[in-house]
Amino acid sequence: MTAAAPVREDAATTTPALEVRDLVVRYGSGRKARAAAPAIDRVSFTVAPGETLGLVGESGSGKSTIGKAILGLQPPSEGQVLVQGRDITSLPLRKRRGLAADLRVVFQDPYSSLNPARTIGQTLVEPLPRGTADATTRARQALESVGLPGDAVDRYPTQFSGGQRQRIAIARSLVVRPKVIVLDEPVSALDLSTQAQVLNLLADLRDEHGLAFLFVAHDLGVVRFLAQRTVVLYRGQVMETGPVDDVTLHPRHPYTAALTSAAPVPRPAEQAARRAAREALGIGTAGAAAPSPTGCPFATRCPLATEVCTTERPALRQVGASLTACHHAEELTA
């Protein structure tokens, strides 16, 4: 694998390719839904052109829900979603079709994401406007850009391996020349060698076309390779966010430290050291107790928790190079 490319120096002065502002998502409707804890609670972030933002957390942390809200598959209860500065929060699905050239998605499963009854060419040209004169040519070019032969347009998904199918899914997202791509666990179903190939491909495509990636994943090693910045989620809230190396190598939040120590590595001695470090943290198991409705959602599992953690939700604040939502972040860094 190659290292993640640095964000361009002018990224901070350009309009974000993707911006999420104070996003709240509640499932259901009516009074019962309003009284329930939100699945996503005041999440904000931006992704610049040519940048990858990693969205990480345990299962159930809200990663995929955020992706669905951005794609219009789950209506936000509050907040805004902007693509290229355009507010798309309340756009109906019919009008969202006009966003096909700006916002695309690559799903996790390379097998179920392609229709087995359609040729690769039919699948790739589907998002293009009807009557596009060079549709087949663009499909061939998209396939070639992901390392597959152009004549694959005439073949069917069953004729390809899992890694090749994921390349086809990436080609489908590229054929309309988008600005933003949501990558929902795009390599988790692949073996390690294929993962490396696909990750290198994504990095090359991002740098070549200035694409903005929202990379949803649970594997911190994968996120560290591809992303420049990361957002760590727990129960729909941001626990920590900042440059990916600072967040993963020098975590300021106990939850981030637990995620980092739980990430698998191929070296047994290092894995044992990480396991010992995790046990030393004294982090409780997920779902062991219901979180406080007014304080930090991680307080019931956190070894640093005090009374203030159960009564007052910590705001994101600067600790080192990261923003951390923890009343006791300095104790962890010490």
Query: How far apart are alpha carbons 324 and 27 in whole angstroms?
Result: 27
**How far, in Å, CA of 95 to CA of 280, rounded?**
52
323: β partners = 241, 318
> What pLDDT is attached to residue 284?
59
Could you tell me which of 237, 229, 248, 244 has the C-alpha nearest to residue 315?
A: 237
User: What integer pLDDT is reported at residue 221 of this predicted model?
Assistant: 82
How many degrees, rounded to 5, is the angle at CA 304 between CA 306 and CA 22?
80
Q: What is the pLDDT of residues 213-230, one digit of tens each?
A: 999 998 888 899 999 999
- The torsion angles phi and psi of 314, rounded to 5 degrees, stand at -70, 135
Task: Give the pLDDT confidence score for residue 274 in this predicted structure.
Answer: 63
DSSP β-bridge partners for residue 313: none
The two counts, helices (H) then strands (E), for the chain are 13, 12
d(CA 117, CA 255): 44
Can you give the pLDDT at residue 149? 95
Taking alpha carbons only, the member of 99, 108, 242 closest to residue 170 is 108
pLDDT score for 172: 93
**316-326, pLDDT tens digit by residue?**
999 989 999 99
Whole-number pLDDT of residue 8? 46
Domain ranges for the chain: 11-249, 250-334
Write the CATH number of the domain with boundaries 11-249.
3.40.50.300
d(CA 234, CA 241): 12
Query: What is d(CA 171, CA 114) in angstroms, rounded to the nearest whole number?
Result: 12
Q: Which two tokens stand for residue 12?
A: 């901070």
Which DSSP helix (H) or strand (E) runs through 217?
A: strand 212-217
Low-confidence ranges of the chain (pLDDT < 50): 2, 6-12
Q: Could you tell me where the DSSP H helices lie in the chain?
A: 30-35, 63-71, 93-96, 120-125, 135-145, 162-174, 192-209, 220-226, 244-249, 254-262, 268-281, 307-311, 329-333
pLDDT at 263: 67
pLDDT value for 87? 93
